[in-house]
Amino acid sequence: MAGALMLIAGFAPRANAQLIAYFNFEGPPTPPYPVNMMSDVPPGFVSTTLITNYTTANISAGPGIPLNVAPGDVDPNLTSLGLRKSSLNNGRDFDIQLFSAQGFFQNMTLSFATNGNGNGFTSVQLSYSTNGGATFTAGPIAPLTQQPQIVSLAVPVGANNAPLLVLRFDFSGGQSSGNDLQTIVDNIQINGTIVPEPTTIAGGLLGVLGLCWFQRRRLICCVRLRRT
């Protein structure tokens, strides 16, 4: 029984830091967009889609940015999400749904690589929803230098363990209605802690405990038979 208890301690739920979702925009385009808006699995954990109300005609494929590339990403770094006519798309949303049955995700950060042409967006804000996108709570804001950079935004703790979690980022400060490539975004990462499903672990532990109890009873019976 002591061995079983030691096994229970060893297999108790542990939180693991992990790449939850990753978008590198490589691969076949996701209609109606000219780039792939699906998350890359692996190296990411969740299969989801980047959803946006940015004017479709103002989105194009840009060159890849060799920053914030996830470990284990084997795709060529050739493509980024290109944004044009920034002044006409201030405040447009980019949503990432991270739905899970029991709210597995916590202690998260959202990061991405970006570059600009000098007339694109000047800031980005992160928001989150815990009710599937019905309402959002505003989070941190970061400046965009319009030079190659990695932007990292900490997801507020109110998003932790939300089964109907949606992360949203939107850009502001767009300065031009021109058709040049004004801001590009690449290699979006959502990193954080994935909490193992308690029912799965509990089921495994009960099985181990039952096996240990059976072996203990069998050993006791054998000892008694030898004594007689």
Q: State residue 196's pLDDT score.
A: 79
Is position 91 within any domain? yes
Is position 34 within any domain? yes
Q: Which residues are CB-neighbours of 41 under 8 A, at least 6 positions away?
A: 22, 47
Average pLDDT, the chain: 86
Is position 9 within any domain? no
For residue 67, pLDDT beyond 70? yes
- Could you give the number of structural domains in the chain? 1
Q: State residue 16's pLDDT score.
A: 53
Q: Which domain holds residue 148?
A: 15-196
Is position 224 within any domain? no
In this prediction, residue 186 has a pLDDT band, given cuts at 50, 70 and 90, of: very high
Residues written for the chain:
228
**DSSP assignment of 49-91:** BEEE-S-GGGEEEEE--SSSPPTT--S-S-EEEEE--GGGSTT
Query: What percentage of the chain exceeds 70 in pLDDT?
Result: 79
Is position 223 within any domain? no
Q: What is the pLDDT of residues 116-170, one digit of tens each?
A: 999 999 999 999 999 999 999 999 999 999 999 999 999 999 999 999 999 999 9
Distance CA 140, CA 125 (A): 6
Q: Which residues are CB-neighbours of 206 under 8 A, at least 6 positions away?
A: none
Is position 6 within any domain? no
For residue 199, pLDDT beyond 60? no
Is position 214 within any domain? no
Query: Distance of CA 49 to CAs 21, 80, 112, Å?
Result: 10, 15, 16
Is position 218 within any domain? no
| Rounded CA Rg of the chain | 24
Q: Which of 63-72, 80-89, 192-201 shows the lowest mean pLDDT across its residues?
A: 192-201
For residue 226, pLDDT beyond 60? no
CATH code of the domain covering residue 181: 2.60.120.200
Q: State the pTM of this model.
A: 0.81
Query: Distance of CA 191 to CAs 101, 113, 149, 169, 194, Å?
Result: 19, 14, 18, 15, 9
